[in-house]
Structure 1
Amino acid sequence: MNKFIHLPAAAFGLFLLHACSQGGEKAETAYPEAFDVSNMDTTLGPCQDFDNFANGTWKENNPIPPSESRWGSFNILLEENEAKLQEIVNGLLEKEDHSKGSNEQLIADFYRSYTDTQQVAALGIDPLQPYLEQINAIETLDDYVKLVGTMRPVGFTSFLSMYVDADDRNSSMNTLYVTQSGLSLREKDYYENNSPRIADIRKEFVEHVTRMFQLMDYMPDHARENAEKILDFETRIAGIQMSRVEMRDPVKTYNKRSYQELKALLPAFNWDVYTGESGLKADTLVVRQLDYLKGLNQVLENTPVEELKLHATYHLLTDMAPFLPREFQEESFHFYSTVLSGVKERKDLEKRALRTTNSMLGFPLGELFVARHFPESSREKMVEMIENLRETYRDRILDLKWMSDETKKKALTKLEAFTYKIGYPDKWKDYSNIDIHPDSLFANVMHVSQYEYGEMLDKLGKPVDKSEWYMTPQTVNAYYNPTNNEIVFPAGILQPPFFNPEADDAINYGGIMTVIGHEFSHGFDDQGSQFDWEGNLNNWWTEEDRANFDALTGKLAAQYSGIEVLDSVYIDGKLTLGENIADLAGLTMAYHALERSLQGKPEPELIDGFNWKQRFFLGWAQVWRGNITDERLLQQVKTDPHSPARYRINATVSNLDEFYDAWGCSEGANSLPPEERVYIW
């Protein structure tokens, strides 16, 4: 998904963040009805360091496994979900006669193809040869453009990308987008920052590309020289790309242009050839980064075709490395997981097979998952909680002192228009036409990619399917989609410690209710607030109210920008602003929703010596507890719009008067003077 869809936690990528499930025999974690006090470290009080107060002993007793870059509640729940998925897959593998095209056949045979390492080893890089021959045949820039268009359906990455998505200014219709791409290191700061830590990563990248070329015997005598050329080329395109902070502005990244205007922006790139090969063509489209296309024209005019061929060869190789023989997989893992994220060990074959199958065929597998592991009662409970929180949000908007009645009326209209999806799609997609065989891993991957591309292409110029899900049901996450004005909660996250039907209400409100509030709040963060109740990019604010909002959010951004997470490495308060707004607002809404639910009832009893207010915040801390490697922490700060988990706990509560009241705080590391605290929603 290419538009910004907000998540409560960093999305779990295909190969970047792994779980440690051993399969169906693993017992589920037993979660207490309240809060496990044995996880606490009370040597520091809650006002000094709330994260360690609530989670210190847990963090000490739960070091990061060698196959992970971080370890916390999200990872543990992911592991538990994958144990259930592995059990499902193991059951499918016991049969050989699944109907062709059935979910069972697709899943079982894809999994078998991944675990058939002898077949993968025997093929070597032969599956790449047709594509390598096309790259080697390139003689002109137009030849390169043709290759990029031809290979787009199988997921080939280049220095720009086109995709189909809902039109930000006409949310009921799909349109075509053009955006920047092509950075192996994911973020431009990795190419421009001269700190020793980042400079070492660039050196490691050159070593990595060198080894990859040597493994495939691609001009081995010039492998290092060619690797340096790739780094140089990517540094040039990084220099003209928008930063992640700049890309957070949906107005600046919405530039409607005619096809002829697109051609004039980047005349060196033969758009007729590209669109003819890719099928991605429309009379009008949206350019995400105008200056990038303008600057790219000069880069292309001054880049030898041979360097473009090198870039294409490496990206083909690295994109497909997970489906090539072991030595390619291990080299790719070394750089992208060990160097960039601090992961020490690869997962075993079965775990990698499950993760890849889940990534490629997530919805067919998800359909089997929810049939076994998501009761309808959980859906009903979620509806009740969402509506409770909507009422709380309504009251908070009405009580705002910084917003005029005119803008409040429109904010309430947007709040009322919020829709939600819970658990799983009401209608499942048909994947039966994908050709999957038990002995053809590379071909299987290509077939899935082609299916997904065809599905995207078929949307171009058509109405948006508002029922579509952009996350599989088993995913441990949730999201807000601004063009649908909807919040979505997959079944995967509606389990302990986020949601436990047996738990104390205060713990549940500090867990899943804060996630619900977080997603609601994304409709009113620095990006989502620019979309109206119909999901269109449209300013519904008065000038004065927007200025008040910007002043408050600027103050919050400055708070987070002052947090040092590593030596001379700070959180980027502007990059993380949307998530920090949502954390703060979500926690606030959940607290007051809990308070609302207790009106007219007896005061809840103490549990383990903690009152309901304190248990609420303990529930919040439990959700975000975790450990992280320094390498992954650096990567997160550079590339992730979410603040690191420790600061999601401490920095958020430091802004809430309710936290100070609950714990009797007056001063300490977690304390801010009242005039420095930020309340937005």
Structure 2
Amino acid sequence: MSTNIQGERMEDEQHLLSGRSSKGPSASCKLIVALAILIPTALLLAALAAIAVLSVRITHLQATSSSNSQTNVCTSPSCIKLASNVLQFMNTSVDPCQDFYNYSCGGWEAANVIPSGYGSWGLFNELNQRNNIAIKKLLDGMKLSDVDAVKLARKLYESCMDTDGLTAKGAEPIRNLLSLTGGWDLVGVMNSSAPQWSLFSADFRSSKSYGNDGFFSFGISVNDKNSSQYIPVLSQSGLTLPSPDSYTDPSAANVTIPALKQFIVSILSLINNTNGGTGAAAAGSGFEQVADQIIDLETSLAEIFVSNVALRDPQATYNLYNLTELANSTLWTQFNWTQYILESFKAAQLGDIGSDDIVINVRTPSYFKNLSLVYINYNESVLENYFKWHLVLQYIEYLGNQFLSPYYQYTTSVLGSGKTERYLTCVSSLEDIVPMTVSRLYTDYVLAPGTKGNISEMVSQIKTAFQERLSKNTFLDSVTKQRSIWKVGNISQMIAYPDEISDNNYLLNKSASVVQASGQYFMSAVNHVINGNTENLQKLGKPVVKTEWEIAPTVVNAYYEPLYNEFVFLEGILNSPFFDAGWPDYFKYGAFGVVAGHELTHGFDDQGQQYNQDGVLTPWWTNTSVAKFKNKTKCFVEQYSQYSMFGYHINGELTQGENIADNGGVKTAFQAYKNVAGTTTPPSLPSVDLNPDQLFFVAFGQVWCSLFSPQFIASNLKTNPHSPGPYRVIGALSNSEEFSSTFKCADNTRMNPSKKCDLW
């Protein structure tokens, strides 16, 4: 349930300072660390010359003049490079009091385009790409001193990069997988020893262990009301398209449904090897009819899905049933829950567990009630085709070019993003399959020494600043205020990477159970899914491990986990544009400090506020404080719902947690920076006619420099709990008194409206 700063994984272009972490079975939650740059004297002189030219672009606005005499100037290589970037990114012809995003990022937008294969592009992506290039170079070069886990990782990387070899195998890997789960007569994969397919067969349960997400997801997560205990969780699942609206909204479905149909037909044809393996359906194959049936079934599911907004309420998604109650309930009455759950635990080698001892959290009971009515409308043949399709769907990205071509055609039509350079796919796969080995490489050769300590000190300052703001809060009563201050003091943190990555045996044990000795890409992916599901189920009955890293450390992201009252700052994000140890404090706090403040504020957003200092979902505020809090959050919902891009409006309810965190993050980080600065005047940047306070806000604004395609926005706004970058800047700063004072914005200008949303 964790909340991250960006949204989702970078390759899906939907993550960063967000909502919930990946501690649970349905968890889904990257940026970039640059290699150290040594700038010789000639390059320093060239950079200074470039800055001198760029500084001519600065328009001296009386309202924003810094009156900076440039007598105390930072001339280190880090500051010179930073000043150059700041000036290039800005558009100083824009009034910062009218559009601070464009003022901060207009130059960057004019100099950039969205690369092929992407639906959006920004500084997050640039950092992610720099990180991936660094990892690629490390994987490309074999060293005799490499530990065994790194050698395995290299074999896996080489197998992934061998697209000719993957293409030559054709459909063989996926056909073999289908054979292991009972076959699929439709595409000519027979398994005569397997009984006829049904929801009650062992093959159905087996396919779920291979990652089949049809109809529902089932796994182990932390108990929201007892954070020291794991609990089984059931939730809705089983759509191919990214959101229910993709099926039910005619304006979206006119594009998404034809694209999905063509995708299904192409993949079925390739698996069946019809028409020369081109992906074109042979006459009379019946694949188009099958695709129509799968889409019809998924449309029926979409109509009963609980909305993303409703899923944000942790009380509404906490519904306990013991196994007997579940079996006798109205939740998908045709399915044998007892048999499925007990056999799943047995397959995970949990031994005999009495049904009376099992209590399950059903996150979406209304979905399962309605599923009973959907299920009876489809025969066994349609159901089998649907479930087999969802098994195949999990592994298409690990096949050859003939499969990737229709896959990227589909994602381009539906998501606005498609094929990128192969090494990016392979590095991302390694981060999924062997994340700690990749982290070992990155930590040893890329991460700047001392980063952990620097970040830890900044995080400590952020926590102090938030506590100070709480102590001055005017809407919380004294009891709630004190409890909230305690909660901040009780927040734990994990920074950069786990210490275990220095243990060679630990790395080898984590890798050898997944990666085959030959590094076979497809089967390593399969092993990763099976082992992950088995390890997840084996958590039942064990103590909760709160120091588990649920996201690869090299991902460009940060997140807060309310169940643990913990925030995590991954090493992938600990570099420019977020952090450089050589930057002045105002820029470090305007960039990374806001990230830290954002994650801390998640502990007090519409979801995090419901969890106490021990991560327990329980009423711990007084009713009076809760009522005032809810009344204040309405302002953010109304504010952000007014923003739109390409004619698509932001969903203020879906994004309210992230919007609250953005607002609290900026205010907290600004106070932390002022606390650190004290009465001293920090050094300015060369040729940048802005004072330190102004540069704090520029640092925040430039983190979110980004470009979007209409297709990406149309899909993204339906599922992503984060607002697009421009409105993360405009929304948060138009609520900031500190911003409007710093830039001397007149009353009732766009960035200084009379009505401001204020919470933390």
What interval of TM-score do these two structures reach, taking the shorter chain for normalisation? over 0.9
Q: What is the aligned partner in structure 2 of residue 59 from structure 1?
A: 109
Q: What is the aligned partner in structure 1 of residue 160 from structure 2?
A: 114
Q: Does 1:269 align with 2:335?
A: yes
TM superposition shift of 1:395: 1.2
Q: What is the aligned partner in structure 2 of residue 341 from structure 1?
A: 415
Residues 596-611 of structure 1 correspond to what in structure 2 (within 5 A)? 596-602=675-681, 608-611=688-691
Deviation track 1:559-582 (CA, whole Å, cap 9, x = no partner) reads: 111112122x10000000000000
SS in 1 for 2:500: coil
Q: Separation in 1 of the partners of 2:471 and 2:613?
A: 17
Deviation track 1:408-453 (CA, whole Å, cap 9, x = no partner) reads: 1111111111111111113345313334133632222112222222
Q: Does 1:6 align with 2:28?
A: no
Deviation track 1:113-151 (CA, whole Å, cap 9, x = no partner) reads: 212334323332222234434153788774466333112
Residues 302-451 of structure 1 correspond to what in structure 2 (within 5 A)? 302-336=377-411, 338-343=412-417, 346-428=419-501, 429=506, 430-431=509-510, 432-438=512-518, 440-451=520-531
Q: Separation in 2 of the partners of 1:27 and 1:454?
A: 47
Q: Separation in 1 of the partners of 2:614 and 2:212?
A: 34
Deviation track 1:515-535 (CA, whole Å, cap 9, x = no partner) reads: 000000000000011001111
Q: Separation in 2 of the partners of 1:440 and 1:519?
A: 38
Q: What is the aligned partner in structure 1 of residue 266 from structure 2?
A: 211
Q: Does 1:506 align with 2:586?
A: yes
Which residue, out of 207, 213, 227, partners 1:151?
A: 207
For normalisation by structure 1, the TM-score amounts to 0.93
Letter in 1 for 2:295: L
SS in 2 for 1:227: helix
Letter in 1 for 2:655: T
Check whether the contact 1:135–1:309 (CA below 8 A) recurs between aligned residues: no
Q: Does 1:132 align with 2:132?
A: no
Q: Does 1:590 align with 2:590?
A: no
Q: What is the aligned partner in structure 1 of residue 631 from structure 2?
A: 551
Check whether the contact 1:20–1:347 (CA below 8 A) recurs between aligned residues: no
Check whether the contact 1:655–1:677 (CA below 8 A) recurs between aligned residues: yes
Letter in 1 for 2:150: E
- 1:66–1:117 distance in 2 versus 1, CA, 3 Å: closer
SS in 1 for 2:91: coil
Q: What is the aligned partner in structure 2 of residue 76 from structure 1?
A: 126
Q: Separation in 1 of the partners of 2:316 and 2:209?
A: 28
Q: What is the aligned partner in structure 2 of residue 647 from structure 1?
A: 727
- 1:589–1:143 distance in 2 versus 1, CA, 3 Å: closer
- 1:130–1:91 distance in 2 versus 1, CA, 3 Å: closer
Q: What is the aligned partner in structure 1 of residue 315 from structure 2?
A: 251
TM superposition shift of 1:257: 0.9
Check whether the contact 1:113–1:437 (CA below 8 A) recurs between aligned residues: no
Q: Separation in 2 of the partners of 1:560 and 1:25?
A: 39
TM superposition shift of 1:352: 2.5
Q: What is the aligned partner in structure 1 of residue 546 from structure 2?
A: 466
- Structure with greater Cα Rg: 2
Q: What is the aligned partner in structure 2 of residue 189 from structure 1?
A: 245
- 1:579–1:20 distance in 2 versus 1, CA, 3 Å: closer
Deviation track 1:196-251 (CA, whole Å, cap 9, x = no partner) reads: x4422222222222222222238853222211111110111111111000000000
Check whether the contact 1:17–1:69 (CA below 8 A) recurs between aligned residues: no
Letter in 1 for 2:159: S
- 1:300–1:373 distance in 2 versus 1, CA, 3 Å: same
Q: Does 1:572 align with 2:622?
A: no
Check whether the contact 2:734–2:753 (CA below 8 A) recurs between aligned residues: no
Deviates more, 1:488-497 or 1:4-13: 4-13
Deviation track 1:319-363 (CA, whole Å, cap 9, x = no partner) reads: 211122211111111112x1123236x223333322222222112
- 1:62–1:27 distance in 2 versus 1, CA, 3 Å: farther
Check whether the contact 1:26–1:83 (CA below 8 A) recurs between aligned residues: no
Check whether the contact 2:219–2:533 (CA below 8 A) recurs between aligned residues: no
- 1:668–1:407 distance in 2 versus 1, CA, 3 Å: closer
Deviates more, 1:271-280 or 1:298-307: 271-280
SS in 2 for 1:665: coil
Check whether the contact 1:14–1:356 (CA below 8 A) recurs between aligned residues: no
SS in 1 for 2:394: helix
Q: Does 1:560 align with 2:624?
A: no
- 1:314–1:506 distance in 2 versus 1, CA, 3 Å: same
Q: Separation in 1 of the partners of 2:488 and 2:736?
A: 23
Letter in 1 for 2:370: G
SS in 1 for 2:296: helix
Deviates more, 1:197-206 or 1:522-531: 197-206
Q: Separation in 2 of the partners of 1:8 and 1:17?
A: 10
Deviates more, 1:426-435 or 1:56-65: 426-435
Check whether the contact 2:31–2:124 (CA below 8 A) recurs between aligned residues: no
Check whether the contact 2:35–2:446 (CA below 8 A) recurs between aligned residues: no
Letter in 1 for 2:216: L
Letter in 2 for 1:491: E
Q: Separation in 2 of the partners of 1:67 and 1:382?
A: 34
Check whether the contact 2:637–2:653 (CA below 8 A) recurs between aligned residues: yes
TM superposition shift of 1:401: 1.0
TM superposition shift of 1:667: 5.3
Question: Any stretches of 5+ residues in structure 2 without a counterpart?
Answer: 16-29, 40-46, 48-76, 186-193, 275-280
Check whether the contact 2:221–2:230 (CA below 8 A) recurs between aligned residues: yes
Letter in 1 for 2:311: M
Check whether the contact 1:145–1:270 (CA below 8 A) recurs between aligned residues: no
- 1:58–1:226 distance in 2 versus 1, CA, 3 Å: same
SS in 1 for 2:579: coil
For normalisation by structure 2, the TM-score amounts to 0.83
Q: Separation in 1 of the partners of 2:415 and 2:464?
A: 41
Deviation track 1:64-118 (CA, whole Å, cap 9, x = no partner) reads: 11132211111111111112211211123x66x977xx31132012112212334
Letter in 1 for 2:7: A
Q: What is the aligned partner in structure 2 of residue 123 from structure 1?
A: 169
- 1:637–1:122 distance in 2 versus 1, CA, 3 Å: same
Check whether the contact 1:145–1:274 (CA below 8 A) recurs between aligned residues: no
Q: What is the aligned partner in structure 2 of residue 541 from structure 1?
A: 621
- 1:402–1:668 distance in 2 versus 1, CA, 3 Å: closer
Letter in 2 for 1:158: G
TM superposition shift of 1:466: 1.4
CA RMSD of aligned residues (A): 2.6
Check whether the contact 2:197–2:384 (CA below 8 A) recurs between aligned residues: no
Deviation track 1:1-53 (CA, whole Å, cap 9, x = no partner) reads: xxx211111222556689999x9999999963446212211222101111111
Q: Separation in 1 of the partners of 2:728 and 2:701?
A: 9
Residues 505-524 of structure 1 correspond to what in structure 2 (within 5 A)? 505-524=585-604
Deviation track 1:570-598 (CA, whole Å, cap 9, x = no partner) reads: 00000000000000000010111112222
Check whether the contact 2:198–2:384 (CA below 8 A) recurs between aligned residues: no
Q: What is the aligned partner in structure 2 of residue 297 from structure 1?
A: 372
